[in-house]
Structure 1
């Protein structure tokens, strides 16, 4: 094999080259695309640098060369032909899925420049069409091209054999029809040829690829001077290619990008704190899919990756990593210290867990500790009227109660039991016989499980410092490459326009009327517009609504739910699958109920079907400080809800009636779309929260799973076995960089050296929540956030 490669390389250098390959305008989309067809740069394979040199068999390398620099969508080429300099600027970009446009401008010293426009479309995965306009500002001409892949029936051979055809239209007539072929019989060994019928010129070329490098030569095999001239070309690609040299099978990818996993792709998230490793859940899924397909990767290493996200996302990460593990990759984890939820994930999937000898495993299960302000308020003459549809609707009990009620305790304990069962399952399934006793008993002995104790209990496999861990990996023969430096692989398959489009719409944050803030709050106006646009777009075949919300305004929730219902029965109907994230409760469940199907993680916090509203009364405070209050009104109840006066019994009854009516509306809507009777919904409603697993048992959701499960369900509903293309939509106003940095509590917490005390943080969150809603408005609001419930991993390990 080595001898064969040496012979090929010698032949490539000695072969008599010609001019740069100028055929295959519908086919070539890699490093040389800027010179062949700028529109093909939009495919995304063209980033790199290249060198092209005319070569003669007798004279060797001639003074006729080009240097090409491509950033992907923008490229510059410098050419020098026997002292005459040529410059080319080219750009290519996607116009629509599978369709690309390009523009170029070439100029030679002391001569006017030439403008070029090009277009490329791939309507199917076996057909490519291209047109390139040349010298459009002078003597315009056009080239048209076609590419065919006849072996498309076999996915492994489809990209290895491509036919091409081209013709030029100039001076009102067609000229120079040519036919060509591109063949890759072995990884990295490419043969290509072209015959021009008008000029009777035959070109033959060979190219060798070595992962990120390639060398090749094209020859003129016609006329009296056949095999005497041609070109030599060499390129370095920013994308990993199929290689003729057998790659190392002992590569380990150190995945250093998952310190923070966001649910929705917030604008600018990937560049805000790049050193922290901020990814979305969908990013992470795609990253792991690439690693899984990489035949050179034997293992994946995680060092101190915090996996700061909600418990539901961690379960999806678990599923994805187990899939990677089943593909034959080994998973190694190293931590200085590790916390509750991230440890559950690591224990579930790791082949081996390494811990710093001075570190600890902080296991403590789940808990919530809240303050209750009723007695404190009463001392100041303040009363909070807490109108609840049912006793389980406890969102504002901290303001209206002296202590935790029995109903609140009952609901919390039941949900926590469900969450704890998932946590113990993850630890026991992953660690199996390594544990010294049951996972629950080990958790009960937490939270401060120091390193040597964690080793004794079987929670970790080895105690080592990071440098010692690195040595152990090297001794296993692993060549470690950081994922942040790991280049994408070349995409060989044609991404056709026929793929069905699925719109993934993110509903994240509290629900309120008007415009939301992208990735932080759900505004009814912006969310409705996003759903309506997807419903009316004929190219969109289905919608996945990713809900991560504890609810909010009852009116805003109903407006959004109505728009989702129109996807089932209105104009342009199409399936909607709800994928529930960390929480989809109260208003979050209300907007989910009309969907075609609902998918929830086993640990999603959902349910909370109920209504609440609060009205503060500070008349006692006014009286305490001898502050007079008086009113002018034109209606008997014109001052209802005014915090400066006490409520009358009649006003209280009116509000209770209002809350009851909203509850009936909530239960009726769920009953209609979940095909349950009023009584069946009421039995599982009354404001009570459930885990996703408990909700499935009660008919509130259809499947337990995450985004990947939602993709499978939508595929069944649109009845396709094709791969589909995802369009991610985050409705709402997009704040600028400084606003995100200063005001976004999640992103700012990433960098916080002195985090805010948790109780104070909760008070501020409560104030911000109350400020969004009108006084006395009925709210579909869950009692706790995922952070308050302890099902959000936010502390650094």
Structure 2
């Protein structure tokens, strides 16, 4: 009897689950179809509205895709794209019904360059005579840098305030390799090409320490100067307060004019009511980024001229490419398509990449050279465009970078994993049979031979020479100058401008404006590329970002960098020669 009860319960449960699955699927299809059939209505903005700018959510360089499912699952503003943030702030500054902004930037999950772009947009907003009030439960250093533009900064009475200067931490793996029998065979070129240093040493070289220190100092000077300007604090005083740890408490931060008060979100709402000349307990009409962006259509069907914005994000690998991996497949095809499109008048290539495959970098460089024959290509450097990322950028007609961007790293290396020690400890031995002395070339189960190392060194020298030639010709710099600023050395965007690696200081918006002026058009539509298949899978990928799934993986591998893990487990012969950052950039 119990068997039949359990059997029937199991069958009933299965059919119930299937029924729910099909019901939800039909709801999704129906809802999606209705959205596709009837375009989003333009939303009106009420008088005395305030833009609620909560930046404590994942911020991507490109606007999140698959808006239909975002709407169905009410995920608007759970993941924000940098363009939509800047667009909303710009629209709000021009809309007389939007009086100000309530800012939340406790722990803004964006790069320094992206953060500065948002900050500059907020400054333009303020210059229109509108207010910005900031409230935070706690303020990280990056969050405070952004909030410093506010008319008033209110912090929770038991919150945390951080302003301590910059630091970068580099992990070294020599002892780890010796202990577990995993060794990276390294061939490199360049005084500063220290991407491989952690495999060879237990301590930081003077060359690496010098370049990191120079980079941090230059970036800090920009942050410090801009904070001091908006908070009306002397630069030397700000450095003194940090050096002497004079702002370790909220009371100290308040006394030194770094924040304006301690309170709660309701206090900020009351301040906004006063600013709006409303009653203290009146409800403020807060509006979201998506609401502001839907208040005015960005696309004008009557305008035929277009500027293409091509987003290239992630490591550079040989293959097809995705939203988070730069590869020749989709990107070369996209550039060819844009070259043949007469409505596309200019191309802005937004690069956010630490580099990667030398071969793929060359293929993308060549593709840009071909496109330039028909229309201009301008590069906007995001948080980083280093090594292979800069190799690609060097082909552009103009290069823009933010002062806080990281670029350069002109150098080449090869790092090949040798697992012989590990496999021997596990009782695994490898034997080979060859028709010629060097037929096997490289194997992870044996040390590389002197002949193989010699040939790899020749390839690196040849690739390094080509890299310098691309930079010399693309930037119109002498061979001597290029050699002096190469050797794997990394630079801030500000430093890169001073030595001629970039043409102008500016973000994505400034690059787009420069492109429009270059081709002589004032009215144009912006079109984002590459175009990837937008389906439920891509939606779930975006959803995983909003839920922090990737962050969990990063935490799991926090003591063993994910990029190094991938190098050990997924080394492709095509990608052996690397143009990549000399160390993992994490500026705290």
Deviation at 1:306, TM superposition (A): 4.0
Describe the SS at the equivalent of 1:544: strand
Deviations 1:72-119 (A, max 9, x none): 9979xxxxxxxxxxxxxx96779xxxxxxxxxxxxxxxxxxxxxxxxx
Query: Superposition pairs for residues 362-377 of structure 1, below 5 Å?
Result: 362-377=162-177
Deviations 1:331-357 (A, max 9, x none): 11011101011111211x111101111
Describe the SS at the equivalent of 1:546: strand
Query: Superposition pairs for residues 92-171 of structure 1, below 5 Å?
Result: none
- Call closer, same or farther: CA 1:551–1:697 in 2, change over 3 Å: same
Query: Superposition pairs for residues 595-614 of structure 1, below 5 Å?
Result: 595-614=396-415
Deviations 1:645-668 (A, max 9, x none): 223323222111111111011111
Pick from 335, 346, 357 the counterpart of residue 136 of structure 2: 335
Pick from 343, 346, 354 the counterpart of residue 550 of structure 1: 354
Q: TM-score under structure 2 normalisation?
A: 0.85
Query: Superposition pairs for residues 633-648 of structure 1, below 5 Å?
Result: 633-648=434-449
* Counterpart for residue 188 of structure 2: 388
* Counterpart for residue 659 of structure 1: 460
Query: Superposition pairs for residues 243-392 of structure 1, below 5 Å?
Result: 248=47, 250-256=48-54, 259-268=57-66, 274=75, 277-304=78-105, 306-347=107-148, 349-392=149-192
Describe the SS at the equivalent of 1:470: helix
- Call closer, same or farther: CA 1:757–1:512 in 2, change over 3 Å: closer
Deviations 1:214-269 (A, max 9, x none): xxxxxxxxxxxxxxxxxxxxxxx86328xxxxx85x54333336633210234348
- Call closer, same or farther: CA 1:631–1:368 in 2, change over 3 Å: same
Describe the SS at the equivalent of 1:522: coil
**Equivalenced residues, count:** 548
**Any unmatched runs of 5+ in structure 2?**
1-30
* Counterpart for residue 369 of structure 2: 565
CA distance in 2, matches of 1:601, 1:448: 29
* Counterpart for residue 240 of structure 1: 44
CA distance in 2, matches of 1:422, 1:774: 40
* Counterpart for residue 535 of structure 1: 339
Describe the SS at the equivalent of 1:726: strand
CA distance in 2, matches of 1:624, 1:743: 42
Query: Superposition pairs for residues 579-598 of structure 1, below 5 Å?
Result: 579-598=380-399
Deviation at 1:752, TM superposition (A): 6.7
Whose helix proportion is higher, 1 or 2? 2
* Counterpart for residue 456 of structure 1: 255
**Any unmatched runs of 5+ in structure 1?**
1-70, 76-89, 95-236, 242-246, 791-797
* Counterpart for residue 779 of structure 1: 578
Deviations 1:550-594 (A, max 9, x none): 11111111111100011223xxx1000000100000111011110
CA distance in 2, matches of 1:389, 1:751: 33
Deviation at 1:387, TM superposition (A): 1.2
Contact 2:138/2:160, CA 8 A, preserved across alignment: yes
- 1:465 is aligned to 2:264: yes
- Call closer, same or farther: CA 1:751–1:451 in 2, change over 3 Å: farther
- Call closer, same or farther: CA 1:659–1:436 in 2, change over 3 Å: closer
Describe the SS at the equivalent of 2:462: helix
Deviation at 1:363, TM superposition (A): 2.0
Whose strand proportion is higher, 1 or 2? 1
CA distance in 1, matches of 2:63, 2:291: 21
Query: Superposition pairs for residues 782-797 of structure 1, below 5 Å?
Result: 782-786=581-585, 788-790=586-588
CA distance in 2, matches of 1:386, 1:538: 47
More divergent stretch after superposition (692-701 vs 621-630): 621-630
Mark the structure with the bigger radius of gyration. Answer: 1
* Counterpart for residue 504 of structure 1: 309
Once superposed, what is the RMSD of the aligned Cα atoms?
3.2
CA distance in 1, matches of 2:406, 2:74: 29
CA distance in 2, matches of 1:327, 1:360: 31
Deviation at 1:393, TM superposition (A): 1.2
Deviation at 1:468, TM superposition (A): 2.6
CA distance in 2, matches of 1:558, 1:579: 19
* Counterpart for residue 108 of structure 1: none
Describe the SS at the equivalent of 2:221: helix
- Call closer, same or farther: CA 1:436–1:704 in 2, change over 3 Å: closer
- 1:683 is aligned to 2:487: no
Describe the SS at the equivalent of 2:195: coil
- Call closer, same or farther: CA 1:357–1:770 in 2, change over 3 Å: same
CA distance in 2, matches of 1:534, 1:353: 45
* Counterpart for residue 441 of structure 1: 240
* Counterpart for residue 619 of structure 1: 420
* Counterpart for residue 765 of structure 1: 563
